[in-house]
Amino acid sequence: MSEWLESAITRAQGINDWLAPKRAHALDLLAKTKWPTRKTEAWRYTPLRPVERTPAKVIRDKVDLSPVVIADLSAIEVVFVNGQFDQAQLAKTLPAGLSIALGADLNAAQQADALTAFSTIKPERHIFGLINDALAQDVVVVSVAEGVEITQPVRISSLLSLGAESHTRVQVVLAAGSKLTVIEDIQAQGDSLNTAFVEYNIAANARLEHYRFALQTGSNVAVGGSHFNLHDHAKMNSTIVGFGSELSRLDTDIIHAGEFADAKLNAMYLLDGKELFDLHATVEHAMPNGKTEENVRCIVADRSRAVFNGRIHIHRDAQKTLAELNNRNLLLSDKAEINTKPELEIYADDVKCAHGATVAQIDKQALYYLQTRGVSRSKAQVMLNFGFINELIDLMPNAALAEWIRPIIRERFAQMEVK
Amino acid sequence: MTEQIDKALAREYEAGFVSDVESETFEPGLNEDVIRRISGMKGEPEWMLEWRLGAFREWLEMEEPDWALVDYPKIDFQSISYYSAPKSMKDKPKSLDEVDPELLRTYEKLGIPLIEQQMLAGVAVDAVFDSVSVVTTFREKLEEAGVIFCPISEAVHKYPDLVKKYIGSVVPKKDNYYAALNCAVFTDGSFVYIPKGTRCPMELSTYFRINEQNTGQFERTLIVADEGSHVSYLEGCTAPQRDENQLHAAVVELVAMDNAEIKYSTVQNWYPGDENGKGGIYNFVTKRGICHTNAKISWTQVETGSSVTWKYPSCILKGDNSVGEFYSVALTRGRQQADTGTKMIHLGKNTKSTIISKGISAGRSNNSYRGLVRMNPGAEGARNFTQCDSLLIGDQCGAHTFPYVESRNPSAIVEHEATTSKVSDEQMFLCRQRGLDPEKAVSMIVNGFCKEVFKELPMEFAVEAGKLLEISLEGSVG
């Protein structure tokens, strides 16, 4: 066991609040879990040294930080600063049918519900999920009432000052027939460590539009997850944009717990320098007639390393499932590395499942074509790289977010050292 | 429907008979003395014994791998007998006339042509019965061409330099748990050496048979194709029908020197256990080849037997422009479990690999493809194409795909595709419409599904493989 984990466990043992039974359970499991090494399948390509030697510390003093402004996006802000929920940044009045509150502030009945639901969607195999269970400072519960469509997006920001450690946790509950857009965003100033986990329960006929921006770079360590539970006819559309950092690891789990659920996941990550980004996307089709479509694209430059594990698991009862996973990777440098593993585990026969993965460099013919049209080689490379990712940005349903992220990505390409 | 499938799938295992051959078998158990005895029985030189003991000591420190998607009770390595030989082999027969007729009948039943005169196939055969090589045919003709094809136990004496140089050079002693065990206790197997620039005049073939109860089979095959040579090698296996599980842990090493080509084909039909999963062979095999410059290694396998399969024939593409190929059909039914695939390690420039894997699951079986394609930094311009297709017959089986892709060279191109489906109603409807009965239709569709792999097999094997598949699929209408 690592020293870091030991100290985390010691700290967690001192917490006594409404989540006590869940925290105790997580600590029990942690005591039985081995600290991942290269031989641990889920961490095969992602060494945990950056966690072991992180300088990050919990900062209790109040720090003033606010999320970046996104033009034309009028979001309801849920802000965590260094792991603490900042009530002052939350709007005083919320749209009818939407409630956002600290778990500790809920009334007894609501709190009992939140406690029951806590950590039921996020699978227990995530060691950092368990750490988050045990250590999450403030737990926020977001819920939408039955049949209510909230047009204003909810943005959950986790902001970290230099050298901060934070463990944030949000529960999002969409009642039957409701609709909500959630943006998860992490911004860190360096030398930080955060675990940010969000669980989504999407009831029958509800719709979730989801974004996760993991744009922290440099010396930050970020290990988190977004976990979704879909009931009958529920729909979700998720977009993930990631830049690498010293260690960035994201786990998504999409569980088809009802029939005729529909999930879309578009993920893109762009790595440079010595960055690492590891995405583990798991889809569990537990019920029949579900549909999943995943598109994952990745560009790695310089000495960066990308890891992707895309697992689709079709259970015995999940007949008539349609599941597709497409993973495309561009390798720009001979020091960079791509490790990808699309997995299918299928126990039902009347299904259509496919996955594809490619690793290559930029299409030489396309490059040549642009050069014959007078575009410089380096500019042509940026254009082609950008086009590769832009196809997924075009699929983002929220125009304000697409317009915001596009120049950020373009700038990232311009910085990438193309060899 | 499931009932109908199960009934149809409960067909007899045709090679399940036991031969009444008097044999000499070691008491079950494994320790250094057993290894000394095996080595002693074979009259091995000191270096061979030391090598075995070294591997055994490594093995004691190792852990059984548990990452494969297979489930079986823990193996008690002390309850296995590590040596069994037909008694009549003690004074090794000089020619076929001296071989125990019961043994010959066994091979006859299996359809293996040992009697040279009667043979039409033109295939040289090395037959391994339990722990010893029974007979190797056509040796004189091969010797004329300079080809060495003999039991490995004989090669240790006759060609110690070659064996010493290459044994363990592709699969190191402590490569994995079962390979280390094999190094310690291997009893026999085939040795092939093709001299420079020689095209082996005929197909070489080994047939493995486990006959004795409570024995394991640990054979070892070493094929060295020297510069510019070419060889095609076939391997087949069967075992009697027994209620206990038996272990088969083989090691196959291929060395393809510059410009050489090795084609290795396997039809694996070990006893798969009954429909409830009782008995059957645990097939835990390590197969690997190394390709030097411009060399080519092609693995083709048709896997229909064994209760549990754990097998990943691999290629190390060390030399520039070398080529690795893997063509596989794996059929599981009843309670069989197969976790099989390949590794293509690209080290040299412009190396190419192709992987075509077809998995067919029926009954209550589980069939997994597990593969690794690695492009190392030096694999400039390397290319891989992988296609994994799974076909499900019935709703109680599983089909899984676990491909690992690791790329560290931007000019290398890796493509991986996988699909899973069942025999579609439309396909069935079309065939039925044309007057085919459902069984014939399924067999035809499955044959079409496997065609890409079957066409890679040598003729005799392709026929055998097609037949095997047809029998296995009888009545399994999806």
- Summarised one tens digit per residue, pLDDT across range B117-153 is 344 444 566 666 665 665 666 777 788 889 998 888 8
A169-226 pLDDT, tens per residue? 999 999 999 999 999 999 999 999 999 999 999 999 999 999 999 998 889 999 999 9
**pLDDT (tens digit, 9 = 90+) per residue, B164-216?**
999 999 999 889 999 999 999 888 888 999 999 999 888 888 877 666 666 67
B window 346-405, beta carbon within 8 A of A: 375, 377, 390, 392-405
CB contact under 8 A, A354 and B375: no
A124-157 burial, b if ≥16 CB within 10 A, otherwise e?
Answer: eebbbbbbbbbbbbbbbbbbbbeebebeebbbbb
Task: Quote the pLDDT of residue A148.
Answer: 97
What are the boundaries of each domain within chain A? 3-361
Q: Of the spans A116-125, B230-239, B272-281, which averages the highest pLDDT?
A: A116-125
Mean pLDDT (chain A, rounded) = 93
Mutate to test the interface with A, among B70, B374, B416 (most CBs of A within 10 A): B416
Residue type present at position A121? I
pLDDT, average across residues A12-16: 89
More confident residue, A360 or B112: A360
Confidence (pLDDT) at B213 = 61
pLDDT of residue B285: 92
* Cβ-based contacts of B409 with chain A (< 8 Å): 331, 334
In a domain, B478, yes or no: no
CA distances from A306 to A41, A168, B27 (A): 16, 25, 53
Q: Is B48 on the interface with A (CB under 8 A)?
A: no
Residue B331 has pLDDT above 80, yes or no: yes
Let me know the angle formed at the C-alpha of B60 by B58 and B66, rounded to the nearest 5 degrees.
Answer: 100
Instruction: Name every chain B residue with its beta carbon within 8 A of the beta carbon of A419.
Output: 410
Over 80: is that where the pLDDT of B308 sits?
Answer: yes
Judged by CB atoms closer than 8 Å, whether chains meet at B420 and A354 is answered as: yes
Render pLDDT for B47-66 as a digit per residue (tens, 0 to 9): 999 999 999 999 999 988 88
For residue A26, pLDDT beyond 90 = yes
Please state, in angstroms and rounded to a whole number, the distance separating the CA atoms of residues B321 and B313: 20
- Residue A159's pLDDT is 95
Query: Which regions of B97-170 does DSSP assign to beta strands (E)?
Result: 123-129, 132-136, 148-151
- How many CB contacts within 8 angstroms connect chain A with chain B? 115
A59-68, B14-23, B239-248, B328-337: segment of lowest average pLDDT:
B14-23
Q: Identify which has the larger pLDDT, B27 or B112.
A: B27
User: Is the Cβ pair B395, A344 closer than 8 Å?
Assistant: no
pLDDT at B7: 47
- Tell me whether residues B408 and A352 touch, CB distance under 8 A: no
Does the CB of A38 have a partner CB in chain B at under 8 Å?
no
Q: How far is B394 from chain A (nearest CA, A)?
A: 6
B418:A352 CB<8 A: no
Contact assignment for A346 to B410 by CB distance below 8 Å: no
> Which chain B residues are closer than 8 Å to A348 by Cβ?
392, 395
Contact B408 A350 (CB under 8 A): no
> What pLDDT is attached to residue B121?
44
Model confidence band, residue B478 (pLDDT cutoffs 50, 70, 90): very low
CA distance A170 to A98: 15
Quote the tokens at residue A194: 């955060």
Residue A83 · residue A168 · CB < 8 Å: yes
Q: Residues A247-286: pLDDT tens digits?
A: 999 999 999 999 999 999 999 999 999 999 999 999 999 9
B14 assigned to some structural domain: yes
| pLDDT tens per residue across span A72-96 | 999 999 999 999 999 999 999 999 9
For residues A217 and A246, the answer to whether their CB atoms sit within 8 Å is no
Report, as an integer, the average pLDDT of B351-370: 92
Cα distances (Å, whole numbers) of residue A241 to A183, A266, A271, A333, A382: 11, 9, 11, 21, 18
Report the residue of chain A nearest B389, measured CA to CA.
Answer: A354
- Mean pLDDT to the nearest integer, A284-296: 97
Average pLDDT over residues A96-116: 94
Q: Is B408 on the interface with A (CB under 8 A)?
A: yes
| pLDDT, greater one: B245 or A325 | A325
Number of domains in chain B: 1
Query: What is the ipTM for the molecules in this complex?
Result: 0.88
Average predicted confidence (pLDDT) for chain B = 83
Angle at A90 between CA A211 and CA A210, to 5 degrees: 10
Interchain CB distance below 8 Å, A344 and B478: no
- How are beta strands B314-317 and B343-346 bridged, if at all? parallel
Give the pLDDT confidence score for residue B1 in this predicted structure: 37
Q: Which of B406, B402, B403 is nearest to B374 (CA)?
A: B406
Mean pLDDT of A53-63: 91
Structural domain includes residue B341:
yes
Judge whether B2 is closer than 8 Å to chain A, CB to CB.
no
**CB–CB contact A356 B400 (8 Å):** no
Closest CA to A25 of A139, A257, A110, A33: A33
Residue range of the domain that includes B165: 2-473
Confidence of residue B68 (pLDDT cuts 50, 70, 90): confident
Q: Which is more confident, A263 or A125?
A: A263
Whether the CB-CB separation of A302 and A417 falls below 8 Å is answered with yes
* A125 touches B at CB < 8 Å: no
The pLDDT of B396-421, averaged and rounded, is 92
> Using 50, 70 and 90 to split pLDDT, how confident is the model at B106?
low
| pLDDT attached to residue B399 | 93
Listed range (A11-20, A391-400, B212-221) with the worst mean pLDDT? B212-221
Give the predicted TM-score (pTM) of the model.
0.88
Cβ–Cβ of B395/A319 closer than 8 Å? yes
| A338 CB within 8 Å of a chain B CB | yes
